[in-house]
């Protein structure tokens, strides 16, 4: 009965809404982990339940704090950090559309096969170092396309590299004060409570130790636990349908005078040369003693992805075909990234059926050109202009975006909207890269908060034509938006109901019973556990004041426990909702919720053990414990 009475007294000491919130939060985490429902649906459902609960039973904190209302629950969806993340995603899309990442990516991807994997390791370590001085979210955004390209070229499954990228950025972010917004927020809370400062490199010694443990783990045990997933999609892309295309060797063409090596053309990787038309002569493989000459019509076969890559890297290969497209270059209002590729199917009742590509006058009617034709029934070895079209033929069409859009109303072809891809405009690459670097530098130097800097950078990319509204909207990830907004709502509810204070207050007596080292260990694992359920910023905002109070009661330096909270809050390795970089790599890495628990869970436990062993000795040695 005594236990029952104590439990009854405990429940009576706190508002029932706090216990209800614990139940709702536990149900949400269970739904996330079960994967029976989409993450978006669980996020929306959790927010909806909280809204109904506090609309029906409003709660005004006993200490006179702010009441939990609809506004406080929903304010996470307008949180500056969330807006910064979404803007950074759209900024990275601007880098991609302008081709600003083409050169470094091509340099690494085209490296010799024997150095591709070392290059991948180098990129991951570079991400770790960069995140020490740049917020870890833009670091992942910048390095994600490079890592993906190197992995694809090296035949490495995306699931083997995306999670390490996120983890390395998180590990680097805990080594300096500006490495993460979490660190800056915690330093502000600590200064407000104590009047003391956390210096720029105060986090470095223990942060470097934790980062070292994390890197060693990912290179050994973690590497074995990473799933093999996503390589199938890469293989499917390589075996995709092939288009027949052609180009002409003009004066100054990069292939002029070149021939095959071992039957293959090194300058046309992953491309099959079906035939070369030289005046009246048709030259077929094998191409013995052959060199390209002026006037040759080269008939090639390649997948859409390969052709797109070739057009990005070697736009001059189109020769006269590109000059036929009217781009309005003299119009100062013309957008910079205009050229667009799209696939279209010849409709069953199309007027094109039975006519050759040269006869239909496609360019004069649409200001677009047909770059390739795909037909599965048989292999074609003839110039494109002489191919008689059949119903079901797939055309690869290139043209300005506005002209491509008008094809929606053309009854002769059925445009495949999902295949629409914008080609980068080289003149926008330097500008978009400068805007992105400017955003990162301004945020890193503290001139403007990262949210404001990101919004201004997005406006600049839109205003200067590096990115259009459609491309920006495509980069807006609703799953990330709903997950982070829902997680922030959970944090607001726990704070407002006193749930966070209840959890933190339970650890204060540990030092009296087991010593300061046990208190450090308990604070670290508590901070790490909370950050994997909520946001890291919410974790430090809630736990730093609690840690300071516990330190004063236990006779421990508050600076030590404040740093411990920061280290724990920077370890959201066990769930995808723990931090936005985990969400950023979730889709590219083809991860499930359980993958983070499987790989990141043991990593978190190992780091906790290492910190529990090393941190007490370190803080005692410098006289702060």
Copy the structure tokens of residue 382: 């003839």
Q: What is the pLDDT of residue 511?
A: 57
Give the full edge-to-edge strand order of the sheet including 297-303. Answer: 281-283, 272-278, 297-303, 242-248, 369-374, 394-400, 339-346, 413-422
**CB distance 349 to 220 below 8 Å:** no
Say which DSSP state 14 is in: S
Establish how many alpha carbons lie within 13 A of residue 443's alpha carbon, considering only the half-sphere containing its beta carbon.
31
**CB distance 612 to 517 below 8 Å:** yes
Q: How far apart are alpha carbons 369 and 362 in whole angstroms? A: 7
**CB distance 124 to 151 below 8 Å:** no
**CB distance 584 to 144 below 8 Å:** yes
Q: What are the φ/ψ torsions at residue 268 (nearest 5 degrees)?
A: -125, 65
Q: How far apart are alpha carbons 125 and 122 in whole angstroms? A: 5
**CB distance 611 to 567 below 8 Å:** yes
Q: What is the pLDDT of residue 106?
A: 59
User: Taking the mean position of all CA atoms in its chain, how far away is CA 569?
Assistant: 21
Question: Which contacts of 548-553 are long-range, i.e. CB under 8 A and separated by 24 or more positions?
Answer: 548/190, 548/193, 548/194, 549/508, 550/504, 550/507, 550/508, 550/511, 550/519, 550/523, 553/508, 553/511
Q: What is the pLDDT of residue 604?
A: 95
User: Taking the mean position of all CA atoms in its chain, how far away is CA 318?
Assistant: 32
Mapped onto helix, strand or coil, the DSSP state of residue 277 is: strand
Q: What is the pLDDT of residue 116?
A: 65
First to last CA, the chain: 41
Q: What are the φ/ψ torsions at residue 362 (nearest 5 degrees)?
A: -60, -40
Helix (H) or strand (E) holding 143: helix 136-153
- CA distances in angstroms from 453 to 87, 226, 441, 538, 578, listed in the order given: 9, 35, 9, 22, 24
Strand 242-248 with 297-303, pairing = antiparallel
**CB distance 323 to 248 below 8 Å:** no
**CB distance 339 to 398 below 8 Å:** yes
Cβ-based burial of 231 (10 A; exposed 0-12, middle 13-18, buried ≥19): middle
Domain ranges in the chain are: 1-60, 339-422
CATH 3.30.70.1450 fits 339-422, yes or no: yes
Low-confidence ranges of the chain (pLDDT < 50): 233-239, 328-337
Q: How far apart are alpha carbons 372 and 96 in whole angstroms? A: 24
**CB distance 18 to 12 below 8 Å:** no
**CB distance 275 to 336 below 8 Å:** no
Residues 6+ apart with CB under 8 A from 498: 14, 15, 18, 61
367-372-377-378 Cα dihedral, nearest 10 degrees: 130
Question: Which contacts of 508-514 are long-range, i.e. CB under 8 A and separated by 24 or more positions?
Answer: 508/549, 508/550, 508/553, 508/554, 510/554, 511/550, 511/553, 511/554, 511/555, 511/556, 512/554
Q: How far apart are alpha carbons 110 and 126 in whole angstroms? A: 19
Mapped onto helix, strand or coil, the DSSP state of residue 416 is: strand
């Amino acid at each position: 009965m005594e236990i029952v009475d104590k439990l009854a007294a405990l429940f009576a000491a706190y508002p029932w809404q706090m216990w209800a919130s614990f139940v709702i939060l536990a149900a949400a985490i269970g739904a996330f982990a079960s994967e029976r429902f989409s993450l978006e649906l669980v996020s929306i459902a959790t927010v909806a339940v909280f809204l109904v609960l506090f609309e029906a039973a409003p709660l005004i904190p006993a200490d006179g704090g702010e009441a939990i209302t609809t506004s406080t629950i929903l304010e996470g969806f307008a949180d500056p950090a969330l807006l910064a993340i979404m803007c950074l995603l759209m900024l990275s899309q601007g880098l991609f559309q302008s081709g600003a990442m083409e050169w470094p990516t091509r340099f690494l991807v085209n490296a010799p096969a024997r150095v591709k994997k070392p290059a991948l390791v180098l990129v991951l370590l570079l991400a770790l170092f960069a995140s020490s001085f740049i917020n870890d979210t833009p670091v992942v955004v910048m390095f994600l396309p490079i890592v993906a390209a190197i992995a694809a070229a090296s035949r490495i499954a995306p699931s083997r590299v995306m999670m390490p990228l996120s983890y390395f950025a998180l590990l680097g972010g805990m080594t300096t004060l500006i490495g993460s917004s979490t660190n800056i927020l915690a330093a502000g809370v600590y200064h407000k409570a104590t009047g003391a400062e956390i210096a720029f490199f105060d986090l470095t010694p223990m942060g470097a130790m934790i980062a070292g443990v994390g890197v060693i783990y990912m290179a050994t045990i973690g590497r074995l636990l990473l799933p093999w997933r996503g390589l199938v999609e890469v293989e499917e892309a390589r075996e995709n349908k092939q288009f027949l295309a052609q180009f002409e060797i003009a004066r100054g063409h990069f292939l002029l005078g070149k021939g095959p090596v071992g039957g293959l053309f090194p300058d046309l990787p992953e491309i099959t040369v079906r035939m070369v038309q030289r005046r009246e002569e048709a030259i077929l493989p094998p191409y013995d003693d052959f060199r390209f000459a002026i006037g040759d019509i080269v008939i090639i076969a390649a997948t859409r992805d390969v052709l797109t890559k070739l057009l990005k890297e070697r736009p001059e290969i189109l020769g006269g075909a590109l000059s036929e497209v009217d781009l309005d270059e003299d119009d100062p209002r013309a957008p910079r990234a205009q050229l667009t590729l799209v696939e279209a199917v010849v409709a069953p009742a199309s007027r094109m059926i039975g006519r050759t590509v040269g006869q239909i006058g496609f360019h004069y009617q649409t200001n677009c050109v047909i770059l390739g034709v795909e037909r599965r029934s048989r292999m074609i070895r003839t110039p494109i202009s002489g191919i008689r079209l059949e119903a079901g033929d797939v055309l690869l069409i290139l043209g300005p975006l506005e002209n491509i859009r008008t094809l929606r109303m053309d009854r002769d072809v059925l445009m495949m909207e999902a295949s629409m891809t914008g080609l980068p405009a080289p003149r926008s690459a330097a500008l978009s890269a400068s805007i992105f670097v400017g955003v990162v530098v301004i945020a890193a130097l503290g001139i403007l908060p990262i949210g404001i800097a990101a919004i201004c950078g997005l406006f600049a990319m839109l205003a200067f034509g590096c990115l259009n509204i459609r491309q920006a909207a495509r980069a807006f990830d609703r799953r990330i938006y709903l997950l982070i907004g829902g997680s922030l709502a959970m944090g607001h509810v726990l704070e407002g109901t006193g749930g966070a204070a209840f959890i933190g207050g339970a650890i204060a007596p540990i030092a009296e019973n087991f010593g300061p080292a046990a208190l450090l260990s308990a604070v670290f694992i508590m901070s790490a556990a909370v950050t994997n359920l909520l946001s890291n910023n919410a974790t430090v905002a809630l736990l730093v004041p609690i840690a300071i109070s516990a330190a004063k009661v236990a006779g421990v330096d508050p600076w030590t426990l404040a740093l411990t909270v920061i280290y724990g809050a920077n370890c959201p390795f066990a769930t995808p909702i723990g931090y936005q970089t985990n969400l950023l790599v979730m889709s590219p890495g083809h991860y499930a919720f359980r993958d983070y628990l499987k790989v990141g869970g043991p990593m978190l436990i190992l780091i906790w053990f290492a910190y529990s062993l090393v941190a007490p000795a370190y803080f005692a040695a410098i006289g702060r414990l």
